[in-house]
Amino acid sequence: SSGIVGCVAPHPLSGCLWDAFGMKMHLRRLQVLSRAVVGGRVVPPKDSYVSAGACGTTVPVAASLAGPRLLAVASCASASSGGGADEVERARAAAAERVPDTAPPTIFDKILQREIPAEVVHEDAVCLAFRDVNPQAPVHILVIPKDRDGLTQLSNARDEQVDILGHLMLMAGRIGRQECPEGFRIVVNDGKDGAQSVYHLHVHVIGGRQMNWPPG
């Protein structure tokens, strides 16, 4: 007998399909393998098989001490445990927890909707970058998220918004490098004391001259 463990009838632990012979052989294999641990490495018996991938698939396990590979029978369970359904449930929960953005529209919304003109220097699926109409240096560009999603200011950022925050900084850096090869400054104003005038998160890219320190 080759000792093939198959998935044929419902099994309460793995979620796979087993028959009586398969279960008996599976338990025997586990007993053998439990005695074949050498220095923390599992050494499977020669010509042994374990279930892997989709239920019913059997793969021979290499018995070489140089690099044995043991494919866990539990992988069969993952194929039938409804992992996709779990992901859908997590997505629904995340959507339910999304904080509604009830802040009023800003001038940036009109720029995004092309209701007022702006000199756009970069646009992608996530952000828009355009020149400030009241520049504080020869180069002064604003980088904003297209979907504000509660990001009226940096201090309102949520944990799940780390990707968009990183994207804004990445694009600001690339724009700064292109526009100001000798150096530039990145500024994010937050709240009254931070001199924030538009409550839609925006990253300032300022350069084209020597910056002073400390900033004002």
Which one, of 194, 202, 196, lies nearest residue 109 by Cα?
Answer: 202
DSSP line for 21-79: HHHHHHHHHHHHHHT-EETTEE-PPTT-EEE-SSTT-EEEPP--TTS-----THHHHHH
167 is an active site residue: no
The DSSP output letter for 134 is S
Instruction: Sort 16 into a burial class: Cβ within 10 Å, 0-12 / 13-18 / 19+.
Output: buried
**Catalytic position from the list 11, 26, 140, 202:** 202
For the record, the structure tokens of 81 come out as 């445990």
Give the C-alpha distances (Å, rounded to integers) separating 66 from 41, 42, 63. 10, 11, 9
Give the C-alpha distances (Å, rounded to integers) separating 14 from 24, 34, 87. 15, 19, 20
Positions marked active-site: 202
